[in-house]
A and B are shown apart, each in its own frame.
Chain A
Amino acid sequence: MNKWTIAGAATLALSCSTALAQDLKFAPGEDSRFNWQSLEDFKAKYDLQGQRLTIFGPWLSSDEDLFESVVAYFVEATGADVDYTGSDSFEQQIVIDAQSGSAPNIAIFPQPGLAANLAAQGYLTSLGEETETWVKENYAAGDSWASFGTYVGKDGTEAFYGFPYKADLKSLVWYVPDNFEDAGYEIPETMEDLKALTEQIVADGATPWCIGLGDGGATGWPATDWVEDMMLRTQPPEVYDQWVTNEIPFNDERVVAAIDEFGWFARNSDFVAGGAEAVTSTDFRESPTGLFSSPPRCYLHRQASFIPSFFPEGTELGVDADFFYFPAYAEKDLGTPVLGGGTLFAVTKDSEAARAFIEFLKTPIAHEIWMAQSSFLTPFKGANLEAYANDPLKKQGEILTSATTFRFDGSDLMPGRIGAGAFWTGMVDYVGGKSAKDVADGIQREWDAIKK
């Protein structure tokens, strides 16, 4: 009975995945913003007719549609059958699938930490030095990007496993230009200016910041981004790297100082909407709506590039809301550090089609198709900046490609129990009134516990 059911399911699965070869969003050869030549070249190299490629990732609904619109070009070029599935419990499921031997060909990791863990257990296939070099040469801040995909494998040697594709930008402050205009505020160029502006807004009788750390079971993560940004603005990037790998302990005074930098904003009841007590319990999705209320609950909101999807319906980016770079201290001379995130494509079950797909991600067209739609940034220098769908996206793309220092979200690089556990809860405790030193001590203790 089993075999029959399986056979049935397999035929069905095949028939449904061919349906994925949908219409191409942009007709090849038409729009000059796109590098069609790269698609032609790629097409000439591969013929995967009849081969099946399974991809598993965290993207759902609109992101899923967008990704599939890119995949359609791969299908068109190679003739392979591609089956993408998304899940919001990706982190758990990929572990179960990898451990039990039902892994997809390619997994899309939202966090390098998880990919590193799986690599260490031997579930990922190395992408090879050639791809690593390609990333180093073709991505802005290529060495940092390459290092996010480089892990220690089961055999104890380092290799390149995760191909970065699709980036997020975290160092952004969102504001409403009209509110700034009405109140006569200027966009701050330095951290000193930003702090002065914060005090200015308070002096004018309003509240400067909306900060919300709430996210159900994941409450606290937005604060980790703040602390990471502060680390990059108070310490050289090398210190940041040592911090995320625990070469310097979490309770190092430099880290404690960065936490207190965040506290300057978040623990002052005059500076945050609802007062400091409201910070941990305000949902991060609802937090930015304070910018748009009348009268405004706040003027500034620091959050990553994805946040506009939680702005009120009908908000037009660039008109009703805009962003500026979360500035660096003028006095510290650390350049313009940028904090970001990104998804990594790793081969979890090797096949010719899986390799070809990674090659496909190296073509400019694979980036441009998504750039021309929405919610996609890329550090790939070969992709045409003009392809971005609108000005705000293009501006973000420029921040990404012109960053002097780019660092990945540190909490994603730390082991899961820290970066998605102790660090979150520690930040909640910190905002709740515990001292930065105590919080950092606690996180370091937890880190020691997992090393044992």
Chain B
Amino acid sequence: MSTVVGARPALTWAVHIAVFVLVAIWTIPTLGILISSFRDKDQIVTSGWWTALAPAERNLVVRAAAPDDAIEENGRWVLRGNVFGEISGSVSAFGVSIQRPTEFSAGDTAETRDGELITIGENGDYAISYPERPEGARGQRLFVTSQEPPKFTTDNYETVLFSEGIGQSFINTLTVTIPATVIPILIAAYAAYALAWMEFPGRALLLATIVGLIVVPLQMALIPLLRLYNDIGVGKSFIGIWLAHTGFGLPLAIYLLRNYIAGLPREILESARVDGASDFEIFRKIILPLSFPALASFAIFQFLWVWNDLLVATVFLGNNEQQLVMTGRLRELLGSRGGNWEILSASAFVAIVVPIIVFFALQRYLVRGLLAGSVKGG
């Protein structure tokens, strides 16, 4: 294949560029949220994430110190301070009335109706001078236009990672996910083998039924099943959710695994049969090792699905400390009314880490897995 491409350098470049464009399109949305997750809560909703690196112009409303604190200087009462808090920047313009917030440039002196003289320097230092001794705890409002350097923070991640109970939820999620991934694979593999290589009446119909069940909408099953659980005393427990995930994932597992197992070379199985191996031995010693790639790929999909699931977990597990899973915990962080984009973006990345590790660990099997009947003869 490489010879074909090698012969046409122009085409090679086209391929590189095409892939690059595709990757860029696919990565940009995630990149956006990655950058957002390091940004300040207020900045996320006021400027686009792609401007995160550029200095931002901000219009600030700052309340000066309380007039009570003014000190007498040369017959006037003066109040000094700085308009910037944690983020420092440089002032380009300021104003003393909300209607004209950019009336004066930095360093100028503004005079208010009451005869106060106000000046704000480029570094944000302000001085307000009153003709008489001022009173009150409510400071004068200053309107400042400033250029601010980009600011990044890890606060969002700290909020998510060190929130109360997140470790427990992580363990809960693992407790749910691992058996809910392994059990359906085991059960499905045996069933898939029977459907692919064993002769029995009603095989095609059975296959059709099982595959047809892939489309059963999950939501429909929740109430009857939980009712059943309560009737037989399982209630909301881990064993209940393992079996539920097993049940919901099984048809797809059987469908994919059967396709793969049916595509294995017939000769290997027949020679084993001639050697006197039983079906059980054939399955354990030949089919299982050979179909490992398919098992691994299904494992990835089932793992991703269970890991990211919220619906099944909220129904079959309780909301208490001992049972709450990661997705549920992250949802809680958002509060009752949602809208905390900074937490959402950080938690999306926290939740993504484990699935990505699993994906990379099993990736090379994926390449060979799930091949259905496609490589027959290959």
Contacts and interface: CB of A to CB of B under 8 A. Distances in A.
A182 B332 contact: no
Contacts of B210: none
B264 interface: no
B331 A294 contact: no
B61 A292 contact: yes
Nearest to B59: A294
Interface in A1-36: 1-3, 5-6, 9, 12-13, 16-17
A3 B233 contact: yes
B234 interface: yes
A102 interface: yes
Contacts of A309: 337
A6 B226 contact: no
Nearest to B228: A100
A283 B236 CA distance: 37
* A contact residues, range: 35 or more
A87 B314 contact: yes
B235 A102 contact: yes
B271 to A, nearest CB: 40
A296 interface: yes
A61 B333 contact: yes
A59 interface: yes
Nearest to A16: B321
* B contact residues, range: 35 or more
Contacts of B263: none
A86 interface: yes
Contacts of B61: 292-294
B239 A1 contact: yes
Contacts of B150: none
Interface string B315-334: 10011111100001001111
Nearest to A61: B335
SS of B interface (majority): mixed
A313 interface: yes
A6 B99 contact: no
Contacts of A294: 59-61, 98, 101, 143
B141 interface: yes
B335 A60 contact: yes
Interface stretch (A88-96, A236-244, A271-279, A324-332): A88-96
B98 A178 contact: yes
A101 B230 contact: yes
A99 interface: yes
A79 to B, nearest CB: 20
Contacts of A206: 99
Interface in B46-70: 59-61, 63
Contact of B322 (A12, A178, A312): A12
Nearest to A90: B336
B167 interface: no
A319 B239 contact: no
Interface in B200-240: 222-223, 226-227, 229-231, 233-239
A285 B331 CA distance: 17
A63 interface: yes
B45 interface: yes
B234 A6 contact: yes
A280 B332 CA distance: 27
A100 B226 CA distance: 6
Contacts of B334: 60, 88
Interface string B89-117: 00000000111010000000000000000
Contacts of A93: 314-315
A295 B101 CA distance: 6
B336 A61 contact: yes
Contact of B227 (A100, A179, A183): A100
A418 B336 CA distance: 22
A83 B320 contact: yes
A85 B237 contact: no
A40 interface: no
A2 B237 contact: yes
Nearest to B232: A2
A444 to B, nearest CB: 29
Considering residues B41, B141, B331, which has the most beta carbons from chain A within 10 angstroms of its beta carbon?
B141
A96 B223 contact: yes
B233 A6 contact: yes
A325 B60 CA distance: 29
Contacts of B335: 60-62, 88
A100 B99 contact: no
Nearest to B168: A16
A5 B226 contact: no
Given A6-B235, A294-B61, A182 B45 contact: no
5 contacts: A16-B320, A87-B319, A89-B331, A283-B339, A295-B99
Given A9-B322, A182-B97, 13 more contacts: A1-B239, A5-B237, A16-B321, A92-B314, A96-B226, A97-B226, A99-B223, A100-B226, A101-B230, A102-B230, A309-B337, A312-B42, A319-B138
Interface of B: 41-42, 45, 59-61, 63, 97-99, 101, 138, 141, 143, 222-223, 226-227, 229-231, 233-239, 314-315, 318-323, 328, 331-339
The 3 closest A-B pairs by CB, nearest first: A100-B226, A85-B319, A100-B227
